[in-house]
Each structure stands twice: as structure tokens, then as C-alpha cells.
A and B are shown apart, each in its own frame.
Chain A
Amino acid sequence: MTEPMYGVATAGTRLDCVQIDGLVVLKIIKHCRDEGNPSVMISGQLLGMDITLEGTTTLEVTSCFPMPHSSEEDQSGEEMESYATEMLRCMREVNVDNNTVGWYQSSYMNSWLDPERPTVATQFQFQDTVPKSVCLVYDPVRTSTGSVHLKAYRLTDRFMAKYKQHLESNEHGFTEQDIRPKFDYSGKCLDEGVTIEDIFEEVPIRIHNSTLVNAMLYDWACEGTMGAKMHCDFERLDLSTRPFLEKSMELMLDGIENLRQDQERSEYRKRDAERKRKDYRRNAREEPSKDELMKLFPDPSRLEGLLIANQVSSYCNSVANFSGLSFNKLYLIKELQENPK
């Protein structure tokens, strides 16, 4: 058995599991509930440490603190930053984990993937400075139906690389050329490119409680104060499928509409870029090389389209999951109805 390795020093950026303290989960839920309005996005920072043990890297999230209301973010990014550092300092003083390992945010029906929200940019910043950081997404609405809806996401390494390039090249990194997979003559893959599947990766979550808490819960279960209620799952009884499907479909409609617009826009921009290139070539004294031209008049960015497509596909997935579950429930109930005994 090898020694567990702590901290960022470990090589690689792979993350196999996120282990979250029960307290953190409760804190996030509380933060969300205090906010009241589920459509307002809330966010906060996660604190903890990553551990690599026997080849598996686990990120332990042991604490968190909420960030002030994000609607004021436009007034000062520095304020937020100074608030965060101040909080970290305070944490350190009371001897809590003060190692930033990511952030959490609330979401309403996958709205966290909305290209207008700063999810990608923020996560990139975190992941750039702390390679093993993670983004927790909590959906208060779906939680209210029964089980806690909490997911951990990270940007993929490939996307990280592209995004970095994108930022460095003055936001012109996501051209068609860049995200297309490249092969050499022998058919060997040089660059896999980026598809919508390659933006975020989900990291499994494990909720961890201290032994004392576990003991207490067990105690409760045995005593019967909470009794049978401990294991009941109300979500299974929820038979209403329509509101969710309708909502999802509407959002998908919007997504597709956006996609279509984006398509048109990018086509237009591309044509524009090509025309400019042509003009330049005609006017230039010496024949400029293709790369030069590409640099001068780059293709339009495809980032937004990519994100929208990603969002739509995530909707599709959630609808597919949901309807799968619903089918099960409905069949079950049908069966029950036919054979009451």
C-alpha cells in the first residue's frame, strides 16, 4: 500500500472522484434556499484538498463559503476577489482548510450551460490555477422533488488547451480549423479536435460524513426516531411528467433557435472573413501566404455554437433520463392497476 499523496504537487490533472462532506452539501443547499428565487444564480467557493491513493485521485471537499450576490459582479471583479482572499485568511486563522479546490453554483434546468453565463470562463480560471479544481452544480428545483441533485463537472484537458489558445490568440482560437480533428497522412490522429462531448466531463461524487455523524445517523435509524422515513424516496411517487418535459422542450426549442441563428451568423462572418482575405490578396503587393492571411483575417469563433450545442445535448440527455425513469414508473403503476393484489 502506497502512501497517499496530498496536494497539488501530484502529476497529472486527472480526477477520479469528488468526495464531499455532508456539511458542505447542507451549506450549499442552505445558501440556495436562503436566496429564495431558484432562477437567480448563486455561487461560492469550495475548499479542501486532493489525495492520490493507489492511482486514484480523489478531491476532498471539506468546506465552502458563499460569495456575495453575483448580480453585483459587474461593479467589481476585484471586490469579489478581495472578499475571497479575506475569507480565506479568516478560514486560515480559525484553522479550517483554506485550499481552494473549485466552486459551486446553482442551476435551473441545466441553465448553468447557458453560453451567457460565465461558467466556462470561471471554471477555466480555476482549473488553470488549480488544475484539480471542480465545479459543483446544484439544482434546487429538482432537489425539491426528492433526491438531492448535485453534480460535479470539470473542463476536459483538450478543451482547456483549446481555450487557452483561444484566449492567447485574442479570442480567435475557436475557428473551424481549430476544433476539427487533424490526422497525418498515415491516418494517425494528431489532434482530436473538440466536439460538444469534449467540453465538460462529469466526475462521480461521493458524500462523506465523519464517523460521528454516521454513528448518530445509525443511532437514529435504530432508535426509530426517524425510523422508516430514513430511506423513503418521494421522487418515485412523482408521476407528473408533463411540466418537466414541457419545460425542457421549450428550452430545447430556444437552444435550437439560438443554434440556427448562430449558424447563420457564423456563416455570414465566415463569408466576410473570406472576402476580406480575397480583397487583401488582390491589393497586396506580394502574394501573402495562407497562414498570414488566416492570422490577419481569422475565421469567426465557434465557441458559442459549441456551447449551445452542448447545452441542447445536455437537455436531450436529461430528457432521455427522465423519460426512462418515467417509463419505468408508469409501467409499474400500470401493472399495479391491472393486478391490484
Chain B
Amino acid sequence: MSRFFAKPGDSSSEEETESEEETSEEESSEDEKPQQQLKKSSSFTKDAPVRKGPRKVVSQKDKRYDEMRQTVKALQNAMKINDWNAIASDFQKLNQQISKASNLISESGVPKFYISIIAKLAQVVEETTKDKDKVKKMSKTNAKSLNAMKQNIKKNNAQYENEIAKFLENPVEDEGEDEDEEEDESSESESESESESESESEDEKPKKKKDDDDEEEDDDDDEDEWSSSSSDDSSSSDDAGRSGATGISKWMKTGDGSDSSDDDGFEKVKKKKEPKVRETKARKEDEDKPKDSGKKEEQMVLTEENVKKKLEETLAVRGKKGTSKKDQIAQLEVLATANISPMMTAQVLVHLISSQFDLITAQFLHHQAQQRDRAGLGLLPISFEIENQNGSKVSSRDQCLWTKTMRNIRRLLEVLSENPELNEENTGQSAATVSRAQVPDDMFEDDEPLQVASNLVSFVERLDDDLYLSLRLLDNHAPEFLKRLLDIAPFLQLAEDVQTYYLKMGKKDVAARLAMRRLEHLYYKHDSLVAKAGTIVQQHGDRVENRAAFIEEMAMLVYQYGDDTIRTKAMLCQIYYHALHDRFYQARDMMLMSHLQDNIHQSYTIPTQILFNRTMAQLGLSAFRCGLIMDAHNCFDELCCNNRLKELLAQGISSQRYNDRNETQERAERKRQTPYHMHINLELIECCHLVGAFLLEIPKMVAMAYDSKRKWTSRALKRVFDNSDRNPLSGPPETTRDVIMAGARALEKGDWRQCEAHILALPVWSQIGSEESVVKVTEMLRRKIKEEALRTFLFAYSAFYDALSLEQLCDMFELERQVVNTLVSKMIISEELFASWDQPTGSIVMHKKERSRLHHIGLQYSDLLGKLVESNEKVMSDGMRSFVVGISVTAATSSSSRTRLAAAGSEGLEGNVEEETEGLG
């Protein structure tokens, strides 16, 4: 790299030349010594006017010396590029000139610059020959001339031994002599410094080259290596970019160029080495142009026309190959600072912002391409990606591209709102179209295409998308994640401001979109959380007090002016918000009124469906907190029934054992993931679901123990039960599921103490909400467990009692009289328990109506026969007379009627038999 682009050494030389310019300018003004012009003629056009100074007669000495100096210059140049052919010829020329000027020399001695150049030449020759590698790399002719040069210079230098020795002793001799001397001096020092930089770069070059080689090899071998090295590259470029930000003279630093070449050309790099070099060379030339123009910019007053011209110029090169995006941004930044009409500023800002987005996009695509390559490895270089995406390797947040972009948008907003006559459409139409052309539609998971007509809002939305994307991709434990989280607040504020602007402009639909964006950042936060945070830091873009109304207001705006999709989203967000704050009925009513449950699976996009699932989960949790077990169960049932909770809430990729997902599906799933800070605790959901399910299920299970074809209300619970049944031995419970299972087993026996001990010991309850709600939930659970235990007990054992005292039941389950009374009465009414109250003694008298097992089987048998007959009749009516089955059925039915009769008869007699045995006993 250093070969083509200035490194520190280079820049110092540049400075030097500049300082030299100054001095020389001074001198020329004082002494009007035009020959100095020669030296600097080549590089800087702005020096041209100096040349136009009055011409002077030149003495012969001067003429000769000038010629020589020119040759020296050429020689130096040749030395720089290591062109020994040129060096040899120049050296010869110089010697000829010297011999021509022998008269002069004899008069005034050998000129200093000559001595210096030959001394240096000798030095370089020596160095070069020592460097075997380099020699090898040279072309044949070059190497030949080098050898010739070596001998020549030895011979030649022998003549001037003394002078050279003197020169080397004291390179900067008596300054005050004449300007020739001084000139020599400075040229000397310059050349020296150049030689230094030269040698430095000479040292560096092979190494760098080698690095490049390594890089390329790595490319082929190992993607990881490559990416890391490229990350180094880009980070270094970032560094350059940062340093560039400080001073205008440096922002053109060539690191950018290299970066862009890396960015754009990295695919080519893979293929060939040569093109890259060429390309970079070409880039270097390009580089000069903006440099010049930048300089010009700096000097000229930023008038409106200039800005306009410049803007057009910049736009013209935009998107073309070889244009550095960073350069452009930097240029536009400068333009934006200009003191021009707001109209222009707005335009410049629009372009600036969209090119900043371009940069983000380019980087993102770049990394996505990488990611695609390594998709097989399954690892996402997430942090890396984000670092680059937002340029946040540069540690301070202010420096990252995202923040900069945000600031620019804010500025644009300010400009627009200060000048209400500016209609944003006319400022940025062209820019907006460009931006659309450059942003691939499939890049962001957000399905709405960028609205170009109103580009301010689309900027804000883009900003939001990027923020969301980075939150999603970042590791939730990384410090960057927290930093990104902090970005939400300023974004919200910006969105709010933009929203008010649009409201003022009368564009309510756009305002609604912004409100939706804001709502999406707010709905999942609990009021108390915000309030707590509000005591420490001021909450930008959020409200500490009266937050419900705040959210309501936003949602209303969306309902009124938004389109269908975002109305649905807003609705879900609001339901979620209500559910989060335990306003279950309110949330449920909204959910029911929206009729979303009916059509969510057909008519909405997957992100909306995920939001719906999240809302349902939260609704279930809120029902659970309110103690509405049945409602909670209904909410959870669908989510939890097939082990896909993770997938449904988009909180991690579910690992299905027999998954037939392909790469694209998996990638799509990854894209849908919810950022970590919005997650709902999965364990809590599962725990609530299972506990709720077994509280509902166990009493039923015990009541209908004989019915083998009983339907389970919860399939998930059935699965858990089946799993635990399969274990031959059950150890002490370990996982949450085990503990719940143990609790359920205890409840099955009516042992509520054990059940309570198991269930309430679960640590997960602390996640259910604030402290008071934890207490509330614990209390509720305790009560529910007791009640259900009582019911279970009655179902299981009531047959063994003639009567049960209410007092005893109260004691057994530590429940109040009234509660027991209610529960038992309910059971009696619903005919779950065959008993009646005996009020005076306060006891329940059981009616012996319990069916025996034989009864149950008999009933099942008749049911089954009924089914058989039915299907048989159907077959008959279908015209396919199936004779055999018909016969068999009639036989079976007739015999079954006999059987039932017999069973019933024996049943009837049973009682007598028992009596008799008792009597005998």
C-alpha cells in the first residue's frame, strides 16, 4: 500500500515541501531568484502564477547549474522509482554537464548539489545491491545497469573523495553562504528526507507485498483468515477516516482509496493479483483529482454556485466505479457546512444522508456476501459485521456512521422546519430515486419498500431498520449491544420530532407511520421500568408519567391514519402493552374485537404473525398473573402444543431433530429473530402453561380414570406425562419440567402440600413481574393448588366414604369453610359428585352412584357397538352390501344385549351378596 499511497513519511515530506514553498516564496519575493521555480514546478498548479513574475537574464553559470539541477532532479526521480536505466543515463548526462562546466568548477569548486547527489547515489547503489531480493526482482536490463552504475559511481566518486568526505561529515554546511548553497542545502535536505522516506518505504514495500500475497493465499485457503485480515484493512481505513475527520487537509488521506478498492474490488482480488495493483494505481490517479478539488474547495469561498457545481460534480461520479464513498461523504460534509441558502443545504443534506446510507448498504452487502460464504459453518460474524456496519470500531458512539447519519437527518429536519416554504419533495426527488436504485429491496426484512416520495420519513425508517438490524445481530452480552440500545432514545426523539413536523405539514399518514415506528420501540417496556429508569436518566422520546395515555395517543394516530398493516401492528402492540400491565380484560376485549385470531394465519406477513404470537404469550402471562388459569391456558395452548415456542416467538432457532429446512429457510428464520431486549422469558411461558394445564387437567384425569379414550385438554401436558410414564424410575426432579411433573403427581394423590412445595420452589416465578405481582402469583397458586387438590381428592376417594365432614375437609386442605362449601356445591350441581349436603351436621352425604369398572367397560362396549353399527349402516346405504359384517354385527349386538343384561343383573345382585357376606361375618 505504501508504495502508492502516502504514509506518515510521505505526508511529512509533503509538509516539508509546503514549508519549503513558504520559504522559497519568501526568498523569491526577496531576491527574485526564479530558478527555484524549477524545483517545484511540477506538482502544484497554484504556484503557476509565481512563474509569471518578471523574467531575468540568466548568467552562464546559472544556466549550467540549472541544467545540472534539472538532471539531478531527474536522477532523484529515477532513484525513487528504482529505475536504474534512467539513473545510468542521467548520471552520464550529469557527468557530461560537469565536464562542460569544468571552467566554472575550477573557479568556484564542485557544486554542492552534485556532491550530495553522487554521495547519495553511492549510498543507494550500495543499499540496493545489498538487498538481494530486490535485485532479483529487477528486470535484466535494470539489474545490468545497476551493476554498471555500481562500478561507474565508484570510479567517479574517487575523484571527489575529499568533497564527499567533507559533505558526509557535515551535510549542512555554513548556511549563510549564498542562496545557491542554501538551495542546495534545502534540496539536499529534501532529497535526504525523501531518501529516508524512500528507504522506509523500500523497507516496507517487500513486507507489504508479502502481506498482500499472504492475504491472497489465505483467501483461497481459509475464509476466516481472509476476513480477519480484511477487517484489519478496513479498520485501518477507518482509522484513516477518523484521522481524516479532524482536519480538512487530511481527509483525502489515501487510506480511503485503499478501502474502497478493497470494498469494491475484493472479488477481483480473489482472482488475480495483477488487476488489483493496476486498479489501485488507477485509483491513485483518481485520488489526485478530489484532492485537488478539495484543496480548491478549501480555498474558495463556498458560494452557492460553487456548491451547486460541486454537488453536481459529486453526483456525477457517484455510484461509478472507483469513486470512494467515504470521499464523497466527506466532501458533502464540507459542502453542508457552507453558508448557503436553506434550499441548498437541504439538498446537500439529502444527498449526504443517502450516500451515507449507501455506504452502510455497501458494507452490509459486503459482509453479507461473506456471510453467505460461511453459512455452511453456521457461525455469524455478528459483532464484526456490526462494527463495520456502523463503523463503531471507532469506540466513541459519536463517530459511528449511524449516529452521524442521524445527526444529519436531524439537521435536515431543522432546516426543513425552519423554512416551511421548503417542500421536501422538491429538495430531494432526484436523490431519492437514486437511493432507491441503490438499495436492494431484499436487503432488509422490513417488507415495506422505501417510500421515496417523502424521503425524510424514509430516511428515518431506514435508520430504524438499521438500528433494529444491528440489535438483532449483535451478541446480547457484548458491550456494543448496550451502546446500540442507548441509540434508541435519540432515535425516538428524532422520530417524534419528524412526526410533529409531518403533522404540521398535514401529512397524517406519514405521521402515522412514524408513530408506528415509535410504538414498536415502546410497547414492550413496562411502565415501572421506564419510571425507574426515568429517575436516573431523562427518558428521551418516552414518557415517565401517564405513559399509557402516551401510548394510546400514538396508537390512535395510527388507527386513524395508518394503512391496514400498521393498524394491525399498532393494535397488537397496544394489546401487548395492556397485557404487560395486567389489564387482561381490556387486552382480551381488544383482541376479540380485532378478530385477528381468525385471520392472522392467512392474511398477514410473518413478522406480524410473530408479533401476534408475542402478544398471545403476553396475554397468557397476564391472565396467569390475574389467576385466570383457564384463559391463560387457552392463550398458551396453541403456542406451546408442539414444541415450537422458540420458533413461534422468533427467539432463537429451534433445533428440530428431523428438520427438513434448507439453508434459505434457516436464513429467513434468522432474519426474523427478535432482538434480545424484546424477548419474553420462554421458561416462564412454559412453566405457566404446564402449571395451568395440570391444575385444569389433574382433577379431570382422576375423575375419568376409567375412560381410556378421554381427551386431554392440553396435548403438551399429555406429552410430558407420557414421557414421565415411560421412565422406569423417577429420580428427584431437576429441570423445571421435572419439578412441575413431580408437583402434578403429588396433586394426583391429593397431596397439596407436596405439590405446593414443588411448584412454589421454582425459581422462575421471580421472572413473572414486579415483586408484588410475584407475591400475588404465589398466593394465587397456593390457593389454586389447594382447591384443585380438594376436587381431586373428592373425585378419587369420595366413593369410599359414606359421609364427609366439612370441618375435616377444611382442616385437610387448610381452606376456609366458605371455599370448601362453594367447591363442593359446584361439584354437586354439575353432577361431578353424587352427594348432598346435610346442613345440621355440616357434612356431605355420599350417594352410592359410583360406577364399577364393569359398568364402565359395558358402557364403552355399547358405545363401540353403536359406532360399528353406524358405520355398517353407512356402508349398506352406500350400496356396497357387506354381508359378513352385517351378520357379525347383528350377532354381536344381540349377544351384547344379552351380556349387558347379564352384567346389569349380576350388578343388581352384587349388593345382596355383599350384604350376605357381611351377615355371615
A and B held together in a complex = yes
Answer yes or no: B888 CB below 8 A from chain A CBs.
yes
Q: Which of A257, A302, A316 contacts B884 (CB 8 A)?
A: A302
Task: Determine if B815 is an interface residue (Cβ-Cβ < 8 Å).
Answer: no
B883 touches A263 (CB 8 A): no
| A196: B residues at CB distance < 8 A | 887-888, 891
Chain A residues in 8 Å Cβ range of B58 = none
Kindly list chain B residues whose C-beta atoms are within 8 Å of the C-beta of A309: 884-885, 887-888, 891-892
Q: Mark A227-245, 1 if CB is under 8 A from B, else 0.
A: 0000000000001011001
Are A252 and B899 in contact (CB-based, < 8 A)? yes
State which residues 863-921 of B face A: CB under 8 Å. Answer: 864-865, 867-868, 871-872, 875, 880, 882-885, 887-889, 891-892, 895-896, 898-899, 901-903, 905-906, 909-910, 912-913, 915-916, 919
Q: Given A305-B884, A305-B888, A313-B895, A256 and B864 touching (CB < 8 A)?
A: yes
Residue from A249, A250, A271, A312 in contact with B888 in the complex, judged by beta carbons closer than 8 Å: A312
* C-alpha spacing A131/B601, complex, angstroms: 70
Q: Which among B867, B882, B885, B899 is the interface contact of A249 at CB below 8 angstroms?
A: B899
Q: Would you call B891 and A317 a contact (CB within 8 A)?
A: no
Q: Of B854, B883, B902, B916, which one neighbours A334 at CB under 8 angstroms?
A: B916
Beta-carbon contact of A249 and B854 below 8 Å: yes
* Distance from B835 Cβ to chain A, minimum over Cβ atoms (Å): 25
Contact string, A294-311, partner B, CB cutoff 8 A, digits 1/0? 000000001001101100
- B438 located at the interface, meaning its Cβ lies under 8 Å from any Cβ of chain A in the complex: no
Contacts of B868 in A (CB 8 A): 256, 259-260, 263
From B857, B864, B891, contact of A257 by CB (8 A):
B864
Contact present for A320 and B885 (CB under 8 Å): no
Any chain A CB within 8 A of the CB of B444? no
Interface residue tally for chain A (C-beta within 8 Å): 49
Q: B896 — nearest CB in chain A belongs to which residue? A: A316
Q: With the chains together, A264 CA to B852 CA distance in Å?
A: 32
Nearest chain B CB to A291 CB, angstrom units: 19
Distance in Å: Cβ of B766 to nearest Cβ of chain A: 49
Query: Within 8 Å of chain B (Cβ to Cβ): is A330?
Result: yes
Residues of A within 8 A of B585 (CB): none
Chain B positions 410 through 427: 1 when the CB is less than 8 Å from some CB of chain A, otherwise 0: 000000000000000000
Residues in A neighbouring B884, C-beta threshold 8 A: 176, 179, 302, 305-306, 309
CB within 8 A of B902: which of A259, A323, A337? A323
B857 cross-chain contacts in A, Cβ below 8 A: 246, 249-250, 253
**Is residue B861 contacting chain A, with contact meaning CB distance below 8 A?**
yes
When the two chains form their complex, are residues A249 and B864 in contact, meaning their CB atoms are under 8 A apart? no
Q: Does B726 contact A (CB under 8 A)?
A: no
Contact between chains at B854 and A253 (CB < 8 Å): no
Q: Are A267 and B883 in contact (CB under 8 A)?
A: no
> In the bound complex, do residue B888 and residue A266 qualify as a contact, i.e. CB atoms below 8 Å apart?
no
Bound form: Cα–Cα A179–B919 in Å: 56
Does A180 reach chain B (CB closer than 8 Å)?
yes
- Please give me the residue from chain B that is nearest to A306 by CB atom: B884
A309 to B858, CA, bound (A): 18
Q: B157 contacts which chain A residues (CB < 8 A)?
A: none
- Interface centre among A248, A330, A331, A334, by most chain B C-beta atoms within 10 angstroms, is A330
Q: What is the CA–CA distance of A256 and B852 in the complex, to the nearest angstrom?
A: 21
Q: How many residues of chain B have a CB within 8 Å of chain A?
A: 40
Q: Is A327's beta carbon under 8 Å from chain B?
A: yes
Q: Does B539 contact A (CB under 8 A)?
A: no
Instruction: Judge if B853 is at the interface, Cβ distance under 8 Å.
Output: yes
Interface positions of B from 217 to 263, Cβ below 8 Å from A: none
Expressed in whole angstroms, the minimum distance between the Cβ of B871 and any Cβ of chain A is 6
Interface contact B882-A337, CB-CB below 8 Å: no
Instruction: State how many angstroms separate the Cβ of B792 from the closest Cβ of chain A.
Output: 25
Residues of A within 8 A of B887 (CB): 195-196, 309
Which residues on the A side are within 8 Å of B903 (C-beta)? Answer: 245, 249, 323
- Chain B residues, Cβ within 8 Å of A324: 902
List, in ascending order, chain A residues with CB within 8 A of B872's CB.
Answer: 263
Interface of A is mostly: helix
Which of B898, B906, B916, B919 interacts with A245 by CB under 8 Å?
B906
Chain A residues with Cβ below 8 Å from B913 are 239, 330, 333
- Choice from A250, A259, A326 contacting B885 with Cβ under 8 Å: A259
Question: Knowing A196-B887, A263-B882 touch, does A249 contact B892 (C-beta < 8 A)?
Answer: no
Q: Assess the B909–A316 pair: CB atoms within 8 A.
A: no
B861 touches A320 (CB 8 A): no
Instruction: Find chain B residues with CB under 8 A from A323 CB.
Output: 899, 901-903, 905-906
CA A41 to CA B915, docked complex, whole Å: 40
The answer to the question of A80 belonging to the interface, with a C-beta cut-off of 8 Å to chain B, is no
The answer to whether B875 and A334 have CB atoms under 8 Å apart is: no
Write the nearest CB–CB distance from B711 to chain A, whole angstroms: 18
Report A84 CB to chain B, min CB distance, Å.
35
A270 at interface (Cβ–Cβ under 8 A)?
Answer: yes
* Residue pair A263, B875 in contact (C-beta under 8 Å): yes
Complex-state Cα separation, A316 to B902, whole angstroms: 11
Distance in angstroms between the alpha carbons of A322 and B899 in the assembled complex: 10
* In the bound complex, CA of A255 to CA of B12 (Å): 101
Interface pair B902/A320, CB less than 8 Å apart? yes
Q: Does B403 make an interface contact (CB < 8 A)?
A: no
Nearest-neighbor residue (CB-CB) of B874 within chain A: A267
Closest to B860 in A: A253
With a CB–CB cut-off of 8 A, which chain B residues contact A312? 888, 891-892, 895
- Distance from A80 Cβ to chain B, minimum over Cβ atoms (Å): 33
Pair A252/B888 contact, Cβ less than 8 Å = no
Instruction: Report yes or no: B871 in contact with A260, Cβ–Cβ below 8 A.
Output: yes
Q: Tell me which of A176, A317, A327 contacts B909 (CB under 8 A).
A: A327
Rounded to whole Å, the gap between the CB of A41 and the closest CB of chain B is 25
Contacts A260-B864, A270-B880, A334-B909; A313 near B902 (Cβ below 8 A): no
- Give the shortest distance, in Å, between A267 (CB) and chain B (any CB): 6
Interface residues of A in 154-174 (CB under 8 A from B): none
Q: With A and B bound together, what is the CA distance between A319 and B898 in angstroms?
A: 9
Closest to B872 in A: A263
Residues of A within 8 A of B898 (CB): 316, 319-320
- Quote the shortest CB–CB distance from A145 to chain B (angstroms): 16
Indicate the member of B853, B888, B901, B909 with the most A CB atoms within 10 Å: B888
Distance, CA A331 to CA B858, complexed state (A)? 23
Residues in A whose Cβ lies below 8 Å from that of B853: 242, 246
Pairwise interchain contact A320-B895, C-beta atoms closer than 8 A:
yes
Can you name the residue of chain B whose Cβ is closest to the Cβ of A263?
Answer: B885
Residue of B854, B871, B919 near A264 (CB, 8 A) is B871
Chain B residues with CB below 8 A from A248, complex form: 899
The 3 A-B residue pairs whose C-beta atoms are closest, nearest first, are A316-B895, A323-B902, A309-B888
> 13 A-B residue contacts at CB 8 Å?
A176-B884, A179-B884, A195-B887, A245-B902, A249-B903, A256-B864, A259-B889, A264-B871, A313-B892, A316-B895, A323-B899, A330-B906, A337-B919
| Interface residues of A, Cβ cutoff 8 Å to B | 176, 179-180, 195-196, 239, 241-242, 245-246, 248-250, 252-253, 256-257, 259-260, 262-264, 266-267, 270-271, 302, 305-306, 308-309, 312-313, 315-317, 319-320, 322-324, 326-327, 330-331, 333-334, 336-337
Q: A176-B883, A305-B888, A309-B884 are in contact. List 16 more A-B contacts (CB 8 A).
A: A249-B858, A249-B903, A250-B857, A256-B861, A266-B882, A266-B885, A271-B880, A305-B884, A316-B898, A319-B899, A323-B901, A323-B903, A330-B909, A334-B909, A337-B915, A337-B919
